[in-house]
Chains A and B, each alone.
Chain A
Amino acid sequence: MGQISFSRIVLSFLISTLLFISIFIISNWIIISEYQRNTELQQRIEQKIYFIDSNAIQNCTDYLTTASIELDNAGSILGILEDRLGKNNPIVISQKENYSRLELKHFFSIKNYMKRCNKNITTILFFYSNKKEYTEDAEIKGYILSKIKRDDPERIMIYSFDYDLNTETINILKELYNIKKPNIIIINEKTILYDLKDINDIIDYINPEKF
């Protein structure tokens, strides 16, 4: 019978522990890279909005729509960070605060841009919640909104806000639009949608002919 080798057991523990820890280090390294990438992306978007707002670019080229796509990408990465690190993680909360602020800035810039350049753009504010009881509904709504954004990225602007995030930006918005419960969609600051289960439920509201 092969005798149990104590040194081999110790060495195996060391190798397996090293490999095990390495996996988590690599995974964390990827997450941190994503966090840095997202921070840089948000800074870029902020600069872009700043230039537009400070009349550095006064012509009617669609810089804001490009910024909107970048904003969506930042939101998507933020979603993954939230999934990996948890919604109470300080990194996630600080990025979310910044992201909400950026969204709001972009939203107001778009409103100016629409007036200035006579553009017909549909704005959608979505106050989602990640709380267990609201997740399924929020996912369906988010999925439908992503689809309509993908279909018409230059004319549809979607701004998603975490209803449960206790920040000045979110609180101002909640007060401004009288939002009392999560998973509410506001289209062009006029139409409020509480229930959305199918893309057909929203398609009429975002159709330019209807407005």
Chain B
Amino acid sequence: MILRETIIYLTAYIGLFTISYYALSLFSKKSEEIELDTKRLPFVSIVIPAYNEEKTILQTIKSACNLDYPKNKLEIIVVDDGSNDKTYKIAKSLKSDIVKVFSKSNGGKASALNLGIKHARGEIVVTMDADTYVSSDALKKMVKCFLEKEVMCVSPSPTVHNPKGILQRLQQVEYFLGVFFRKAFASMDAIHITPGAFSAYRKKFFDKYGLFEIGNLTEDLEMALRIQANHYKIRYVPDAVFYTHSPNTFFSLLKQRRRWYSGLIKNLWRYRKLFSRKYGELGVIVLPAALITITLSITLTVWLIVDSLLRLNKEILLLKSINFSFTNLFNFNKFFFERMYINFFSHPYALFFLLFIGITIGYLIFAKKNIKKEIPVSFSFPIYLLLYAVLFSFWWIISVFYILLNKKIKWR
């Protein structure tokens, strides 16, 4: 009992501390609007690796072609990574002077990206997934950040393309909530995760520090950590938005998260030198806080689930003892609600829960203001509150299990 209370209050306190710190960092740094002369816009190469993406590839290429960017300063490089379907044929069918299509034997996303980067002429290289669509103004907004010489990568805001069903809506809320954290991390130069689906890099960095690592589960994350490890900056442009197809089944989402979280653990271990004062707020606040809050919240969620199941068992026993039938469900609920009302509001746990719901709503308002787009989450938000903590813990437990047992995780 004492241990449980300690974990709950510790999680709440560390959570409040980190949120306060991030909010203070965010609001202490004023963002300056950078004006960029169209003539000074750099040449950009968009690299699209594709493997069996016949359903989306055409729309992705068209989305890249429709970017509001001078066409004489833009090239789109599609790399078919040995697809078994019509991906290559469809990509080739698009007649455009700025689109180049390459084909290679299957070697994974990183190898396809690297081939594209090798052929890229641009000063800036954008990596784009073959199932991703980008808002037309995104690239111009992102490119402005490269005026700062130390900036090696710029990331935009991900959103779910046409979300349907519970899981996609849940991911949509998760992406929106991420806006606050990404912006806070950016204000501390502590962005350590960039979306692989659409991110811009200075090509010079690849030339000096190498291309994407083949075989890495999360090559985009490794690249972000590599940038941080070499003391360069990653910027974030919240109102540059891209839309991506997100997993819509429980198992496809589990697979994705297993890869992400296992990749995160492996890459953080590899770049453990980042956990040091030398790396400022990233090393002392952001990364340790992330690890501590993840560990505590998983412990807590598992504990609460087990505790609830035990309580449920007890409730069933009690219901059995009074021959509970659904015909008197209303009376039963009324009694229950009366008792729960006082129980709930007089308990610090419940008040902390309400406070964190309030903070989460604050994140959504913040996201809406920064993305400058409507965020339709009135239906999705309750689903998020109900399910996310459970799923999040489940994904993490599975990932840790895979790492501990040294089980092989496939990219796809």
Contacts and interface: CB of A to CB of B under 8 A. Distances in A.
Do A and B interact with each other, yes or no?
yes
Interface of A: 1-5, 8-9, 11-13, 15-16, 19-20, 23-24, 26-27, 30-31, 34, 76-77, 80, 83-84, 136, 139-140, 143-144, 146-147, 150, 197-200
A26 B278 CA distance: 41
A174 B16 CA distance: 51
Given A8-B21, A20-B13, A139-B314, 7 more contacts: A1-B280, A1-B283, A2-B189, A2-B190, A23-B12, A83-B343, A146-B335
A19 B190 CA distance: 26
Contacts of A8: 21, 24-25, 28
Interface in B4-34: 9, 12-13, 16-21, 24-25, 28
A12 B345 contact: no
Given A27-B346, A27-B348, A144-B321, A2 B280 contact: yes
Contacts of B331: 150
B279 interface: yes
Interface string B316-341: 01101111000000010001000100
A143 B321 contact: yes
Nearest to A15: B20
Interface string B337-364: 0010011011110011001000000000
Given A1-B279, A2-B281, A143-B318, A11 B339 contact: no
Instruction: Determine the interface band of chain B, counting residues with CB < 8 A from chain A.
Output: 35 or more
A28 to B, nearest CB: 9
A80 B17 CA distance: 31
Given A4-B277, A19-B16, A143-B321, A30 B345 contact: yes
Interface string B128-164: 0000000000000000000000000000000000000
B282 A2 contact: yes
Listed residue (B190, B279, B320, B322) with the most chain A CB atoms within 10 angstroms of its CB: B322
B35 to A, nearest CB: 25
Instruction: Name the prevailing secondary structure of the B interface residues.
Output: helix
Contacts of A2: 25, 187-190, 280-282
B55 interface: no
A11 B281 contact: no
Contacts of A136: 314
A3 B279 CA distance: 8
Contact of B12 (A1, A20, A150): A20
Instruction: Name the prevailing secondary structure of the A interface residues.
Output: helix
Contact of B321 (A3, A12, A197): A197
18 contacts: A1-B189, A2-B190, A4-B285, A12-B17, A12-B24, A13-B17, A15-B24, A16-B13, A16-B17, A20-B12, A27-B351, A31-B346, A80-B339, A84-B346, A84-B347, A140-B321, A143-B318, A143-B322
A109 B314 CA distance: 36
State the 7 A-B residue pairs at the shortest beta-carbon distance, nearest first. Answer: A2-B188, A1-B280, A16-B16, A12-B20, A2-B281, A12-B21, A147-B322
Given A8-B24, A16-B16, A20-B12, A1 B323 contact: no
Nearest to A142: B318
A20 B17 CA distance: 10
Contacts of A30: 345-346
A197 B322 CA distance: 9
B409 interface: no
